[in-house]
Structure 1
Amino acid sequence: MSNRYSKNPSNLKSTDLYLSVKGVPFHLHKETLAKRSARLTTVLERNKLDELRSILRDTDIDPITFHLVTRFCYGYKIQLSSENIVSVLCIAYYLEMSDDHSSDNLLNKAVTFLEQRVLISWNETVKALRSCSNKILDKLADVGLIEVFLDSLVEKALNDARLLQDLITLPLRLYEPLILETSKHNVSKENLVESVCNYAKRWIFEKDSGDENVSRHKREVIEAVERLFPHERGTISCGFLFKSLKESILLDACSDCRKGFVRISKQLDLATAKDLMILSKKEDGSYDIELLKTILKNFYSNYSVSDFSRFVSVARMLEEFLFETAASHASLRVETFKELAEIVVAASCDVLKYSDGIYSAIDVFLERHRDLIESEKMEACRVLECKKLSPEACEHASKNEKLPLRIVVQVFFVCQMHIRDKVAREMKGVEEKTENRVDEEDEEDDEMENMSKKLLSLKIKSDYSKKRKIENLECAVHSGEKKMKEKKISAWGEVKRKFGCMTSSSVDALDCHIKKRKKTYHRYK
């Protein structure tokens, strides 16, 4: 076997086979190849070598893979791997190198290797598909092997959705059906979205569009990305959707793709000022005012007055966007600033109580453009509604030397209105306090009167109870004294009897003596 042409073609034997695979010459023996390939046997019998060359061309076989196949035909041991298995399988299939033609043939070996060494492993399966060209993938689709690969990967991804990140290197024709099939099952949307975003970054945002083929591929990818993104609100960041929308416009993607990305307007209240900068700023530094208006129009058409909190969020975000724009770009023209400011005013009208955010943006714009003449300053301030400034903003504006004189006069007038309103509120507060105090004093008088009645009632009850207690106490004392007298007489009489000197006269004398002593005791007491 030789992969070089003979220097003298006339010396080639009739059994020799002369082929070129992608510019690499091969000098082979017909009989040796025919023993392993039923298709080659048929071709040689019909003497139609162009049919064999067409097969090699259509299957996009590279010289290294073809050399490996011919080595097998010559009886050499070959090394199959994840990188070459798909190509070897395709050429073995189209050359009909099955066991029906020759035992232990290449097609059977390739199928066994694919089943036992590749499909059981996520990494080896991805590696095998990564090496496939579009023509080889076409042939895989023809024989139904694409579904085999996809089913193997989907089954493994369902067990661990984190594996989806490994798919971003696959061709789009494999990646899209993989994600679509996986999304039909109960797989984490976060993992799906992360995988799609990473795929877009790799094939769209990190690729240079200078080449027409690259631009066409990027357009195909951005359209697929839009189809793969879930529609649930908040599942994809506003910044990424804004960036994708701009890219779809630059790549001239289909209208369905561009309209699909405009759905970001439904979650505009979740966006930040930086997100809006991504959307509105063009590559030349100018601003896409019309695109910004389109997004806002779609947002307001999707919600009603009941979603007032969302309107407030968008209004505040737009104010911050205007401020950041004015602060970040010294080259921003007055006309552009005014157009952006008009959009912000329209969004905040009847939504925000004060226009302090717009004033802050004007203030920083004038600071960045100190060289503006009075008429240009007035043009930048034309959107400012002074009567909607808070007292704090009015105080700052009244001392702001950058503002046009006409605006300062308006601010002073608003300041007077604030002072008048404040005084009126304070006077009203004093009156309300006075009325409340009179009412409180009346209530206190009523309470005092009720309390006096209660105390009087308690006093009467207390005096009566006290009188009864005194009377009971006097009765108790009188009864006690009487008992004590009886006890003393009785005890003393007993003593007298014991001494044999108890007489009636002595008893009377004793009783009289006790009475006298009692009167004397009470007087000193």
Structure 2
Amino acid sequence: MESPKGRTSPLMGSSPYSSPNIALLLRRRILSWTRETKLEPSISVHVGGKIFELHKVPLISKCGYFNKALQNSSEIELPENFPGGSESFEMVMLFTYDFPLIIDPFNVSALRCVADFLEMAEEYHPLNLVERSDLYLNQVVFQNWDDTLIVLQKCIPLIPVSEELLIVSRCVESLAFMACMEILEPERKTNRSALSMQGLTGRNWNCEIVKEIAGQDLWIKDLIALPFEFFKQIIGSLRRQGMREKYVGPIVMFYANKWVLSKKTHKFWEETSEENGIEDANTKVITILEGIIDLLPLEEKAGNSILVAFYFALLLRSLSLNLREDSKIKLHEKLVSVLHLARHSDFLLPEKRNRSGSVGSSLEVETMERIVKMYVAGRRKIGSKGQTPLRDLSVVADSWDQYITEIASDLSLGIERFVQLIEVIPTVDRETHDHLYEAITTYLLEHSGLSSEEKTSLCYYIECRKLSHEKCVHAVQNDQMPLRLIVQALFLQQIHTHQALKDCSDSFRYMQSSELAVTGTLTPNSASPYDGCPHSTSLSNKEYESASFRIQALEKEIISLKKSLQCENSATVPSFRVMGLDGSNTSRRRKPFGQVRGCVGFGSMTWGSQRCAGRILKLFRRIGLLRKGKGKGMRK
């Protein structure tokens, strides 16, 4: 069986039997028969607007249809749906007049369909046209990639007869089998660039690059040039015959890229349409897109065989088309299944040229919001059953926070809508609040007209204990943050410093006790309590005790400041909550949107109280300098 290797397209050639040639050959053959038999044509056959004057003997000797029909009449009109029309009839009549007709890939499908209609089987003549056509299909066409493609293309105007005779299905199975052999062929295992998605991983979808990759293998180029109905059948056959999904998926992607995502194809359809170009082009794209959605692999195989950027490219294309509702739901479900593999840059941003009103009401943002909500609901449902961990959910949460950071700077985005976007991901499902902090900071910078209460309400969603050290430091110095968040960040830094010193102290005592147990004495170069700590490794006992005493004194001063601040604001704040060392929350209730929500115990605090925060900042700097001093001592 010939594989589809380096060659030109199989449709570049054509049959030697053109319509004028066939008609001329048939007329000559009829005249020759008349001279040989001394009999004039006595049968009139009407087909495709033409009238053929023929002899009765050749017709009834090979055609069961005429054998029955000519018993009562000498004039016959064939139906309008006669396979192939008058041209196919002319070729078959040459065969009935014993002309040495050459069967080739360009005419065999038409000959086979007409032979079936006219009942040209062996019961009327040995090795009749039905048997000859089948023999040629089985022994020649289905053994060759190019011939099979030609026959499949020629079956299009012969549908549904070519489908009923299984010509189409046999072509499909043959092409699928040869494609599988192409994948399994040993010498090509190290050179399958077209089906390797490594070059596209981590990049946004680019139609031209994908088109160039698809054209590197001619057999793939041939498949994606087929009409969608044939292509759909081939994909089904590839899967039935065992081709792995990592090879099938890219073929589907290449097809969709050519016929759905390519602007050049859409423009071509518009220009070649006889009536409403845009509407006709959209109709064709919708039909193919809805079929592509059905061809996309199942959930467990989707992420391994198809690029996530491709799903988002289809999603973006679907927004401008009037898809059926069930197709929209299917596409969203397919995308939900791979959302944890997406980057925030894959998410659909509002297009300014199409935007009307607020960015929050744009079709792109609303679609992304709906998909993320579907993902969150599905993952939490799975996680509640203990089937899978919620790790993927935190990844999606991180991407979503980066996404809303990009749209937070839009001045048309109201605070209520911004809060709705934040709440798409529950706070507990965020492992880190770094990107959420960035989103809120961006929003506060661009929306300078917010009141203190609105700022505080937004910052309620930030949990400082889920911020990284860098973000905590940034929050302390961020003028956009309310005082309560600044103080919370300060106290968390205090807690971290205290815990770091405690860990170093425990490590130091353990090493000292171990050495004493082994040797009975301590060596002059005994390990310091900062051995193994990130900032220092060699402080003496006196330095350690002095440092511990100073840290404790600073902690007491901070606690004193905290109490004074609480007293200062007790007249305006009836209740507050304190975040304990273990991260527990002691607040009794959550206040409604627009009101102040305490984080560390300061509730609604006037911005003038930042004088106290300045003192706390000075204490924090002293702690930092102390730690740096320890690091310098370590390096000496």
Q: Give the TM-score taking structure 2 as reference length.
A: 0.55
Letter in 2 for 1:148: R
Q: How far has the Cα of 1:101 moved from its partner? A: 3.7
2:55 aligned counterpart, secondary structure: helix
Q: Is the 8 A contact 2:380 2:390 kept in 1?
A: no
1:192 aligns with 2:218: no
Count of equivalent residues = 423
2:420 aligned counterpart, secondary structure: helix
Q: How far has the Cα of 1:121 moved from its partner? A: 0.5
Aligned to 1:312: 394
In 1, distance between residues paired with 2:254 and 2:325? 22
Give the 3 Å change call, closer, same or farther, for CA 410–78 of structure 1 in structure 2.
Answer: farther
1:237 aligns with 2:321: no
Aligned to 1:508: none
Match of 1:412 among 486, 509, 525: 486
Q: How far has the Cα of 1:363 moved from its partner? A: 3.1
Letter in 1 for 2:154: S
Give the 3 Å change call, closer, same or farther, for CA 223–112 of structure 1 in structure 2.
Answer: same
In 2, distance between residues paired with 1:193 and 1:160? 16
Mapping of residues 79-478 of structure 1, within 5 Å: 79-98=102-121, 100-102=123-125, 105-133=128-156, 136-161=158-183, 166-206=222-262, 210-211=279-280, 214=284, 217-218=287-288, 221-222=291-292, 224-226=294-296, 229=298, 231-232=300-301, 234-235=303-304, 236-242=306-312, 252-253=323-324, 255=326, 258-259=329-330, 262=333, 264-277=335-348, 284-288=363-367, 289-304=369-384, 307-326=389-408, 334-344=415-425, 346=426, 348-349=427-428, 351-352=430-431, 354-366=432-444, 369=446, 373-374=450-451, 378=455, 381-382=458-459, 384-385=461-462, 387-388=464-465, 389-401=467-479, 403=480, 407-422=481-496, 424-425=498-499, 428=502, 432=506, 435=509, 439=513, 446-447=520-521
Q: What are the Cα deviations for residues 309-334 of structure 1, in whole angstroms up to 9, with x where unaligned?
A: 3333233222233334447x676555
Letter in 2 for 1:53: L
In 1, distance between residues paired with 2:464 and 2:361? 35
* Structure 1 gaps, min length 5: 4-12, 450-525
Give the 3 Å change call, closer, same or farther, for CA 200–63 of structure 1 in structure 2.
Answer: farther
Letter in 2 for 1:277: L
Aligned to 2:52: 28
Q: How far has the Cα of 1:99 moved from its partner? A: 5.1
Q: Is the 8 A contact 1:355 1:385 kept in 2?
A: yes
In 1, distance between residues paired with 2:503 and 2:286? 72
Superposed CA RMSD: 4.5
Give the 3 Å change call, closer, same or farther, for CA 261–137 of structure 1 in structure 2.
Answer: farther
Q: What are the Cα deviations for residues 4-28 of structure 1, in whole angstroms up to 9, with x where unaligned?
A: xxxxxxxxx994636352xxx4231
Q: How far has the Cα of 1:29 moved from its partner? A: 1.0
Q: What are the Cα deviations for residues 121-165 of structure 1, in whole angstroms up to 9, with x where unaligned?
A: 1221122112322x6342233334445334433443342347577
Q: How far has the Cα of 1:100 moved from its partner? A: 4.5
In 2, distance between residues paired with 1:445 and 1:291? 66
Q: How far has the Cα of 1:426 moved from its partner? A: 6.0
Q: Is the 8 A contact 1:164 1:192 kept in 2?
A: no
1:96 aligned counterpart, secondary structure: coil
Q: Give the TM-score taking structure 1 as reference length.
A: 0.65
Matched-pair identity in %: 18
Q: How far has the Cα of 1:90 moved from its partner? A: 0.5
Q: How far has the Cα of 1:166 moved from its partner? A: 4.0
* Structure 2 gaps, min length 5: 1-21, 25-39, 185-218, 267-277, 351-358, 524-636
1:47 aligns with 2:73: yes
In 2, distance between residues paired with 1:14 and 1:82? 32
Q: Is the 8 A contact 2:299 2:334 kept in 1?
A: no
